[in-house]
Structure 1
Amino acid sequence: MKIRNALVATTALCAASTAYATDLEVTHWWTSGGEAAAVAEFAEAFNATEGNTWVDGAIAGGGGVARGVIVSRILGGDPMHATQLNHGRQAEELVEAGLMLDLTDVATEGGWRDIVHPVSLLDSCTLDGKIYCVPVNIHSWQWIWLSHKAYADAGVPVPANWDEFVASAPALREAGKVPLAMGQQSWQSAGAFGVMNVAIGGLDLWTKVNVDKDAEAAASPEMLKVFKAAADAREFAVGSNVSDWNLATAMVINGEAGGQIMGDWAQGEFAVAEQVAGVDYTCLPGLGVNEIISTAGDAFYFPKQDDPEIEAAQKELAKLLLSKEVQVDFNLKKGSLPVRGDIDLSAANDCMKKGLEILAAGNIMPGGDQVLSPDTSGQIEDLMVEFWNDTSITAEDAQSRYAEIIANAD
C-alpha cells in the first residue's frame, strides 16, 4: 500500500512539474562558432531558472535571411516566444501593429533607464513611452581586423590606419594574400561602406546623410571621396571568394587575408580560434582614423502570446538578459560591449578594452538601424553589393544612385 501511495505521489509530482514547465522558443541568427558560444550563455542561464526551458530556434543565413523569417512568422500568426532583432526601427511596424509584448513594467521594476548605457539604446526600444525590447549588447561596425601572420609573410608592418593599409595592399598581393577579406552578402558590403563613410568622410557628413537625409550631402564632393575609397577597397577584395562574414574572418585568422572591415562580433571568431589581440591580430577602431563606437546592437523582442504562463516566462527571460552575470558571460563570448555601465569586465581582451574606453569617453554615434528604415537600409544594401561586385559601376555612378535613395529615404 505504501509503495502504491508513493507511486501515486511521484506521478502527481511529475504531472505538476510538467504542467508548470514553460518552454520558450527563441529565434536568432547567431550560428557562427563565436556566436553560438555566446548565445549558449543565455540558454544556460534561462534553463537554470525553475521550470523554464530555452528552445533554440537558430536561423542560418545571417540577419537578412533571419529577419524575413521572423517577421513572416509573426505576421502569419505563428509567433515565436522571443526573438533577436536589432534595436532601432526594424520592429517598428510590428510594435505599431500591437504584436509585441509591452515590457514597461519589467523595465520600471528593474530600473533599466538607470543601468542601460548609453540610454539611447533603451530609447530605441521605446515607442509612445512604452518599452518593447531588451537591449543586450552594443555592437559597433567601426573596426578593421588585421592579421599579423599575413603582414609578417608579406614582410611589411601591420598598418596603424587606413592610409597605411592602402599602401600595404601591393605587398600583400605580391605575397599571395588577399588584402581585404569581404563576404558576398549585401549587408557586409553596406556595413563596410558605412565604416569608410565615417572614417574618410567624417561623422558630420555621415550624420547629414543618414540622420538628416540630406541628399545634397550624399551627392557632395566629400562623399565622392568615400565612394572612391570604396572602389579601391573592392579591388583589394578581389579573390575573397567567400559568402559568410565568418568565413571572411577565418581568412584573416589563417593569414590568407590582410584584414577585414567587420563589426566587433568578429572577436568571437578570434576567441574560438584561440588567437590573442595584440599578438595574433590587431584591431583598429574607426579604421585608425576616427576612433568612435556606433551604438547599434542586438535586442530581444517578445511577440504577444495568449497565455499568462508564457507571458510570465517571457518577462522572466527579459529580466535575466540584463542581469549583471549574464551580461558579463554573454558579451565576453560575443565580443560585444555590455549595455550595463556598472559591471566588471576586467577579463576583456585588448580590443574590447579599446571599445570600452571609447564608449566611456562618449565618442559614440547611432547605428544605421537606429536612423534608417528597413526599406531604406535594404535599398542601400542592394546598391552596395552590386557596386562591390561589378567593377563597371564607377564611383560617380554609385554615388548618383545613392543620393537618390537618400533623397527618398524615410
Structure 2
Amino acid sequence: MNIKTTLLTLSLSLSSSMALAAGQVEVLHWWTSGGEAKSVAVLKKMLEEQGYQWKDFAVAGGGGDNAMTVLKARAVSGNPPAAAQIKGPSIQEWGELGFLANIDDVAKANHWNDVLPAVVSNVMKYQGHYVAVPVNVHRVNWLWANKAIFDKLNLKVPTTMDEFFTVADKIKAAGYIPLAHGGQPWQDATVFEAIALDVLGSEDYRKAFVDLDMDVLGGDKMVKVFELFRKVHSYIDKNAPGRDWNIATSMVINGKAAMQIMGDWAKGEFTAAGKVPGKDYICAPTPGTSNQFTYNIDSFAFFKIKNKADQKAQDALAATILTPEFQQIFNLNKGSIPVRLDADMSKFDACAVRSMKDFKATAKSGDLVPSMAHGMSTTSYAQGAIYDVVTFFFNTPNADPKQTTEMLKKAVKAAL
C-alpha cells in the first residue's frame, strides 16, 4: 500500500470515527413522497452540516399506522429511535409510559415559549416539560373553490351554511357537482367537524371533542350538526364512496366540481397543477368558521436514549426543526404554515398568509381548536368511536339525527 493510499484510508477512518463521536440520530417518520420527502432531505442535510449523522427510519403507508406498529415493537424491546413522528394526545400517552426524553434545555436555549403559541407548546409537553417539537401547522377548516365556475355562475363563495346551500343549489342546477368528496371515514369526519365548529362554537366544540362532555355530545346543538351534515350529503356525487382526497381535489381543479372541504394539504394539488390562488381557485374558511381555526400539527417526540453523543445529536435535531430556515423550507414544500409566530411569510402564497394571520388571531381569541378528524383532540379510541357513528350516519339515508346523537354519546362513553 503506497503512502497516498495509506493517508486516504487513515483520513476516511478518522472522518468516520469523528462522525460517530459526534453522534447519530435515528428518525422514524412516514414522509416518503413528494414535498415531504424533499423536506426530510433538507432536515437531514442541515443536521449533517452540524457534524451529526442522520439514520433514516422511514416507514411508508397507512398514514402513520404502520410506523406506530414498528415504533411500539422497538420501544418495548428497549431500542427506540432518537425521534419519531408522533402528534397530539399520543405524545401524552407515550409520556405516561415513561419513554420520552426531557428537552427543556433545548427549548429554553431557543426561546420556544416565546415563539410558539401556548396552545401548541402545551401539546408538546408532558407534565410541564418539553418532550416533542412541532414541525408545522395545517389548517383543516378550509373550503377550496373553482373560481371559473363561481365567476361563470356569478356566485360568491359562501360564508355561512345557509349561503352554502343556496350556492350549492345553483351549482347543481348548472350541471356541476357542488361538493367534491371522498367517502372515507376521516374525510367524512373532516366535513362533520367543520359543521360542528360552526354550530357548536369554539367553546362547545372543545367540550365535545377534547373534554368529551356527554351533555354537549348528546345535546340539541349536536342534533343540528347531524341535520346539516345530512343535508350536505345531497350535494356530493354517487361515486364518492372510497374516493381518495386528492382525486376529489382534482375534480375541483378540473372544473368537474365547484368546492371541497379539506385541509391545506389540498393546496399542494392545486400548486402541482400550476394553479394560482385568487386567479384559478379560492381558499376560504369553511362556512361559518371565518374567525376560527381547526389545527393539525405534525411533530416529533424524542425518546430516552443512553449514548451521550447521540443525545447531543438528538438535541441538535430538536433545535434545527424550529429554526426559521427549516420552518420556511419545510412548509413551502408541504402546503402548511410555520409554527413559529415570528415566521417570515414573504415567500408564501395568499392562502398561507391568510392562514398565518388567522392562526395568530385565534391563538389570542381562544378560537384555535384541535382537529378531532386528524387526531389532535382526543384518544384514538374516542376518535374511532366518533368516526364509526359519523360515517354510518352519512351513508345511511334513513338514519335519524336525534337517535344518532344519542348513539354518538354512547359510543364515546364506551370508548373511555
Per the normalisation by structure 1, the TM-score is: 0.88
In structure 1, list runs of 5 or more residues that go unmatched: none
Query: 8 Å contact 2:297–2:376 — kept in the other structure?
Result: no
Number of the residue aligned with 2:360: 360
Name the CA distance, whole Å, in 2 between partners of 1:65 and 1:184.
Answer: 22
Number of the residue aligned with 2:75: 74
Q: Which amino acid in 1 is paired with 2:84?
A: T
Number of the residue aligned with 2:54: 53
Number of the residue aligned with 1:373: 379
User: Aligned runs of 1:4-403 on 2, under 5 Å?
Assistant: 4-19=2-17, 20=19, 24-30=25-31, 33-53=34-54, 55=56, 57-64=58-65, 66-75=67-76, 79-86=80-87, 88-116=88-116, 118-151=117-150, 155-161=153-159, 162-238=161-237, 239-361=239-361, 362-363=364-365, 364-367=367-370, 368=372, 369-403=375-409
- Residues 124 and 241 (structure 1 numbering): CA distance in 2 closer, same or farther, change over 3 Å? same
Deviation at 1:274, TM superposition (A): 2.2
Query: Any idea what the Cα deviations from partners look like across 1:312-358, whole Å, max 9, x if unmatched?
Result: 22221111100011111112222222121222111221111112222
Q: Which amino acid in 2 is paired with 1:79?
A: P
- Residues 280 and 69 (structure 1 numbering): CA distance in 2 closer, same or farther, change over 3 Å? farther
Q: Which amino acid in 2 is paired with 1:61?
A: G
Name the CA distance, whole Å, in 1 between partners of 2:397 and 2:37.
Answer: 36
In structure 2, list runs of 5 or more residues that go unmatched: none
Secondary structure of the structure 2 residue equivalent to 1:387: helix
How many residues get paired? Answer: 405
Identity %: 31
- Residues 357 and 31 (structure 1 numbering): CA distance in 2 closer, same or farther, change over 3 Å? same
Query: 8 Å contact 1:25–1:55 — kept in the other structure?
Result: yes
Deviation at 1:16, TM superposition (A): 2.6
Of stretches 239-248 and 379-388 in structure 1, the one that deviates more from structure 2 is 239-248
- Residues 343 and 59 (structure 1 numbering): CA distance in 2 closer, same or farther, change over 3 Å? same
Query: 8 Å contact 2:158–2:167 — kept in the other structure?
Result: no
Deviation at 1:288, TM superposition (A): 4.9
Name the CA distance, whole Å, in 1 between partners of 2:35 and 2:144.
Answer: 16
Name the CA distance, whole Å, in 1 between partners of 2:245 and 2:369.
Answer: 22
Q: Which amino acid in 1 is paired with 2:252?
A: V
Deviation at 1:66, TM superposition (A): 4.6
Deviation at 1:261, TM superposition (A): 1.3
Deviation at 1:167, TM superposition (A): 2.0
Q: Which amino acid in 1 is paired with 2:47?
A: F
Q: Which amino acid in 1 is paired with 2:95?
A: V
Name the CA distance, whole Å, in 2 between partners of 1:201 and 1:302.
Answer: 36
Deviation at 1:170, TM superposition (A): 3.5
Deviation at 1:59, TM superposition (A): 2.0
Name the CA distance, whole Å, in 1 between partners of 2:26 and 2:250.
Answer: 30
Name the CA distance, whole Å, in 2 between partners of 1:406 and 1:93.
Answer: 18
